Amino acid sequence: MRVLPRASARRTVAVTAVLPMLVSAAVLVAPAALAGDGPTVRLPVLVSGLEADADCAKASTSVAKALPWEHQSLELSRAASFSTGAGVKVAVVDTGVSATAPTLAGRVRVLGSAGDDCVGHGTFVAGLIAAAPTKGVAFHGVAPRAEIIAVRGTNERGTPSAASVASGIREAVDAGADVVDVSAALPSTSRELDAAVAYAARHDALIVAAAVPDPPSRTSASSSAPPARDYWPAAAPGVLSVLDLDVKGQRPTKALLPVHVDLAAPGDAVVGIGPRGHGHFIGSGASLAAAYTAGTAALVRSAFPDLTAEQVAQRLVSTAYPDAVSRLDAYAALASVRDRTKVDGTTAAVPESRVSMPDTSDGDRATRMGMLVAALAVGAVLVVGWAAVVVPRGRARGWRPTRH
């Protein structure tokens, strides 16, 4: 399967042309505040990997009750009336997914040792995809009724390799995943990884992957962004590659850029869950943008079960908001087909894009009648105008009608 051939639908990002539009002074991965209705809440930062001597991620004591900006950007509240991802299996190939995370409880199928998520990144990603709504909290996953398949694609500290990602993709496909979310963005591919991507395509599993690696927890002030380049498996044919954007629709300063990318989605300073507890974290990176896209793919696969993986990818791209890199629109991906059935069983009619023109079967007669009406209307306007100007002037000069 070749979802987006390089020569046609897949966009090639020219650094000299696109960089000025995408780069801005946005929030980097640092402690951030979530603003909204009510008091400001500061959330701890979640990283994508841990140092060898670092402790596992601890539970957050901060709860984000305000509506995250990314929910507004994707119009998730409107999308939910069409689909919630029911019946779709989304594999998360990452650091693992905690099966005890409260908002994912009962919907995580663990493969091997992937139920132990020391880093917390995989659980964060799974939460973006499918976290259930919680009373009093605005945050929830894109597809809260989807099933998560937890697959380890890194070592226990969060370091990926081509072999571990390839193995994770194959395990996910064998487990029946409809969508495979891959957080890793590797500087090179391998025969084994290419074969795993092809294996997913043959089994109609859509791979959604980060177009670039997530930013490190510490960035040198003097460092500059390297030239654009591709990363894998995002750059492989048949993979939907996703780039991260901030609340302004821009990229962080000195952010990495790929050569090829399919979509952009929220991924800077986004809210998510941790591997334990009811608190929230904040994170940044293309892996999080990929998670939002994978969740949207689950919505589409649930709403349109007859679509192939390739057709789902094409739908996400074709309904995206046009920009330098097209921006994901979850609502448009679901509502762009007429007469879609909502989750409550009612029908939501989407307005026709065509304009209804009048019947022209009696065209000549209608034309003549129209011309007559128009002529009478113009004549009436001229008479009224003449009377309003000429009659007062005549009376001012002593003019009176002549009597015979």
Q: Where are the domains of the chain?
A: 11-217+225-348, 364-404
Q: Are 183 and 155 in contact (CB under 8 A)?
A: no
The answer to whether the Cα torsion of 304, 305, 311, 314 is positive or negative is positive
Residues 6+ apart with CB under 8 A from 271: 34, 43, 64, 68, 70, 139, 280, 281, 282
d(CA 404, CA 397): 21
**Looking at residue 38, what is its pLDDT?**
45
Euclidean distance between the first and final Cα of the chain, in Å? 97
d(CA 311, CA 326): 17
Q: What is the DSSP letter of 56?
A: P
What one-letter code names the amino acid at 217? S
Residues 6+ apart with CB under 8 A from 389: none
d(CA 12, CA 287): 20
Beta bridge partners of 12: 260
Under DSSP, is residue 154 helix (H, G, I), strand (E, B) or coil? strand
Token pair 């009377």: residue: 387
d(CA 210, CA 288): 8
Give me the tens of pLDDT residue by residue for the chain, a chain 404 residues long.
334 443 334 555 543 334 333 333 333 333 344 444 444 568 999 888 888 778 899 899 999 989 999 999 999 999 999 999 999 999 999 999 999 999 999 999 999 999 999 999 999 999 999 999 999 899 999 999 999 999 999 999 999 999 999 999 999 999 999 999 999 999 999 999 999 999 999 999 999 999 999 987 554 555 677 899 999 999 999 999 999 999 999 987 788 999 999 999 999 999 999 999 999 999 999 999 999 999 999 999 999 999 999 999 999 999 999 999 999 999 999 998 644 444 554 544 433 332 222 333 444 444 444 544 455 555 555 545 545 544 455 444 444 444 44
Q: Can you identify the CATH homologous superfamily of domain 11-217+225-348?
A: Peptidase S8/S53 domain (3.40.50.200)
Tabulate helix, strand, coil % of the chain (nearest 5).
Answer: 30, 15, 50
Residues 6+ apart with CB under 8 A from 349: 338, 339
Under DSSP, is residue 19 helix (H, G, I), strand (E, B) or coil? helix
d(CA 211, CA 232): 8
Q: What is the CA radius of gyration of the chain?
A: 28
Q: Supply the residues annotated as catalytic.
A: 94, 121, 287
d(CA 125, CA 265): 14
Neighbours of 11 (CB within 10 A): 21
